[in-house]
Structure 1
């Protein structure tokens, strides 16, 4: 975002239809072929005029002009180019932290898309070279939420109802972080704990990446031998995390405990209430809730309020503080119906 031009000098109708583009964004584009149409603001007329068409080959002098106009706050891109613009930022996600012209809903969409792309690659091959870019983008998310943790509502409005391991993992991330921010505890919520919790929630089901896809897409009851391939996934997931040297307590808790239940009826350890961590309880509620609101081959999706109330009623197995908070939010429609 340019510091040279006061944004209040730009007419409101232009702000609604165009982004005022900053140097950090311009410098991330191909130097000589910007992928979007560029417009220049004519202050004396109060209008925008086309400058360069997307894909046009710029000369060195034109590149200098673009940078000069940008530094002066006179360079814009049309919001009709948002799909191209956002696809570009998805690959350099930290740009959402410096581009102050993106609306909050646009930022949430871009972050969600970026994490989904990175996570999909990582789940297909859970190795360090694919984990590292995923972690970098996840830290962009936590920086964004650390600035204002109420922004988690933006992501709660974007829960997917179509099942895939990626969708389920990001859904659980949003729900788990909302619970972390909204169910208070005496423990201090530090940036490090937010970082570790976000990572733990996103990877809580990583062991499922080793389950044969045909089992996950079956529309009929699983055979005993097929269930036997699913039940060890928390242990398998923890082993993957260990190989990646992800040793934070939060990672272990979310991966190992998200299928444990307060009454000891869960798995893999059949741990009971006093043996479960706070994050394990959060992960259990978030994981179950996200499974319930998702359409699967063997079951239809439940409405979020009905799913949350069902978990709240199951006090023997789920922590009622977290389930009740989630149900209460949907009763009050805390997340709204629009995606702004």
Structure 2
């Protein structure tokens, strides 16, 4: 359990994090990566305890642990970049540290998923899928506790194309749309939809980079490679022994269109699943708002409006998306590309 907060002055709570025992135990034992401060109850101020990188003695290690247990150990919010990069690698800590602000938790979650997805995309094997799945379950637990938290994720959109960033855009926007369409949100459904949205495009990891990054029109043989990626995605997920219905449908159907003009099967709308229709909308929306080697980047509201006017996409999803961006439901959007730090 996290240490209880002491009754400290509000300005201290605003400028410092109180460190929980879980967070402290995740730091290097003798060389904390952040400046540490101890609370002086007699004069109600924080006093510097040690500077980041300083080596602690055995006695200091024990004293730090006791200060933490007493709720008297703090770190400055100016060290947030270091603090957040550390927690990114142990994402479950965000559920235990009640001192993090909601915006900070969302940023940390997004960075963690970008890191895990990038690793799995580079080498799609079970060993690298497991940490991605574990971190995604942390995110769905966080959202399940309060469904309104999803707005904070949608507020943070990537505008520069890269596979993990595209996947995160689709996950965040797709979860919001799905949550608007269900009368009751069950945790097991949330987990399945989240995994399907995040991994729907994983087949692109098997498409040669020179094709993915090519500027201008593709040759027919290059287009044939791209057209195969939904099938490749299904095969990847079956190979890592994750092949439930929603995930398979999302992988296979996200380029199908209601008028049968999509691929790989040219399925009519009556044969495309609901998760397939949802994934098609968010996949196209994300592609439209991102800088990429081909095509023109749209502003989110413009992209949502164009999709709502396109009868190839499911209106149950495009119309709420257009209405949300027209009404600025998510408030001021944050471009994550200008403020993204993924740990090495």
> What is the TM-score normalised by the length of structure 1?
0.96
Structure 1 residues 205 and 5: alpha-carbon distance in aligned structure 2, compared to 1, 3 A threshold:
closer
Matches within 5 A, 1:71-110: 71-110=69-108
Post-superposition offset of 1:247: 1.7
- Inter-partner Cα distance in structure 1 for 2:165 and 2:303: 17
* 1:336 is aligned to 2:331: yes
- Inter-partner Cα distance in structure 1 for 2:308 and 2:333: 26
Matching residue of 2:10: 12
- Inter-partner Cα distance in structure 2 for 1:51 and 1:283: 51
Asked if the contact 2:3/2:20 (under 8 Å) is kept, the reply is no
- Inter-partner Cα distance in structure 2 for 1:209 and 1:3: 43
Asked if the contact 2:30/2:57 (under 8 Å) is kept, the reply is yes
Matching residue of 2:26: 28
- Inter-partner Cα distance in structure 2 for 1:126 and 1:173: 18
Q: 2:275 pairs with 271, 276, 279, which one? A: 279
Q: 2:241 pairs with 245, 251, 258, which one? A: 245
Matching residue of 2:64: 66
Post-superposition offset of 1:3: 4.3
Asked if the contact 1:2/1:72 (under 8 Å) is kept, the reply is no
Runs of 4+ in 1 over 4 A off after TM superposition: 1-5
Post-superposition offset of 1:299: 1.9
Matching residue of 2:121: 123
CA deviations over 1:259-310 (Å, ceiling 9, x no partner): 1111111111111122111111110111010111111112221011111111
* 1:323 is aligned to 2:318: yes
Asked if the contact 2:197/2:250 (under 8 Å) is kept, the reply is yes
Structure 1 residues 2 and 72: alpha-carbon distance in aligned structure 2, compared to 1, 3 A threshold:
farther
CA RMSD of aligned residues (A): 1.4
Asked if the contact 2:3/2:68 (under 8 Å) is kept, the reply is no
Post-superposition offset of 1:338: 5.5
Matching residue of 1:298: 294
Asked if the contact 2:214/2:294 (under 8 Å) is kept, the reply is yes
Post-superposition offset of 1:10: 1.3
CA deviations over 1:56-81 (Å, ceiling 9, x no partner): 21122211111111111111000111
Q: 1:231 pairs with 217, 227, 231, which one? A: 227
Number of aligned residues: 335
- Inter-partner Cα distance in structure 2 for 1:228 and 1:192: 36
- Inter-partner Cα distance in structure 2 for 1:120 and 1:328: 32
- Inter-partner Cα distance in structure 1 for 2:30 and 2:295: 52
Matching residue of 1:134: 132
Asked if the contact 1:183/1:325 (under 8 Å) is kept, the reply is no
